[in-house]
Structure 1
Amino acid sequence: LIFTETSSTYMSDYMVPGGGDWSVHRGGTIYLTNTKDVIITRNLFTQLGSNGVALIDSNEMTSITLNEFVWLADSAIILVGSTNGIDGFSVTSQPANVLIQSNVIHETGIYIKQSSPVLIAVSRSTSVIGNLIFNVPRAAININDGYYGNHTLSWNVLFNTVRETSDHGPINSWDRQPFLSDAVQHGSPSLWQHYSYIHHNTIFNNYNSLWPIDHDDGSCFYEDSYNFMMYGGKKNYLG
């Protein structure tokens, strides 16, 4: 299928999903909420006025594979959950076990510069594997907060990012506020999160990017290994 020519949403409502810098429009060309086992594959998303795919609140085992996203006003794929303040344990309203694999994503953020092809916000156990992402205004992949964790970013090729902003990297993370979850021990809420894993990515730190992997503002519980990073290393700030 070809998805194209949707209405612009840059003057619509945006909300702050957590402790990171992002605000998001909780909508998209494909909008999913309260779903399980949805597969989105082999589609073209082009010339869209907003986000491509929006996974809002509870979405289990969604697969987004083998698609192309190009010329989008906002982000390609957003995962945005909800909590009751810091309580993400009693409120299980988050995307979980989502697979984003083998997609080609480029020329996004045409209108919204504080956007990324893949946004992970208040979500659990996201896998971003084997994607090609380039020509974007800010991060290619942004983990907006420290809720739950257990994300995997691997075998992605990222370049030509942070072209229209600064103080950022192709892979960016934030963690400015605590969240309760049972990430460490099932059924036992705590402020600890599960480790996330960033490995075997090829990352070019060109344009205005400062660090290929930018763990900013308290980011912790990351294991970074076997990445090929050109023109830079990584940053850990207050994490």
Structure 2
Amino acid sequence: MTKAPQRRVLVTGGGTGIGRAIAQAFAQMGDAVTICGRRIAPLQETAQGFDMELRQCDITQEAEVEALFDHPFDVVVANAGGGAAARLQKTSLEAWNDTLSVTLTGVFLTFRAALGQMPEGGRLIAIASTASLKGGATIPAYAAAKHGVLGLVRSIALDVATRGITCNAICPGFVDTPLAEQAITGLMERFNLDRAAASAKVASGNPIGELITPAEVASSALYLASPEARMINGHALSLSGGEV
């Protein structure tokens, strides 16, 4: 993979987990990285040892997102998202709206603002999920939001193709992040399982039987942002060991 000249890179939700790994990977490539999130302390932890710009931002708020783009970015990674697990009949309207707001509307606001100044050759990358490609009985709001992200990515890809810009989604399965840890401890408490059994259950959706590492997601983002990936557009890259 050819190392591109220094680029301006924005990673939303860059304070923890996948976002942290992606931000640090681009920084190690020599890119000028900006990370944003609601809390400043995790952003500071991500930036330790790196020269990164830190921006406090709630990506569900239109004005805050617009303010992020006081200069153009060559690569924008919409990573922020989330949502609590609950079956449909136990999903409140508030929880539904909160999940769609951060997981789908946040991507919409981020990409819309990014395209106002993005130069030719720019890269839009959404961190989606295998939930973009299939349902989940206990995550209807999250799956619906992630399906929406993929529809948005595919639509943007068609819109920007003639501008030399690409828009793609990375769709990982369970990644070894604090969210996976929450799932493991939840299973331990709910079913009285030991850690090994709970960890195996969480990883069981991956045919390889392991959690994906944040570094593996970051490597995929680096590739999609590379010159070699210019013909990959509107794609959902499943990073799941064959889950989908």
TM-score range, shorter chain: 0.3 to 0.5
Q: Which has the higher strand share?
A: 1
Q: Which has the bigger relative contact order, CA under 8 A and spacing at least 6?
A: 2
- Which one has the largest radius of gyration? 2
TM-score, length basis structure 1 = 0.34
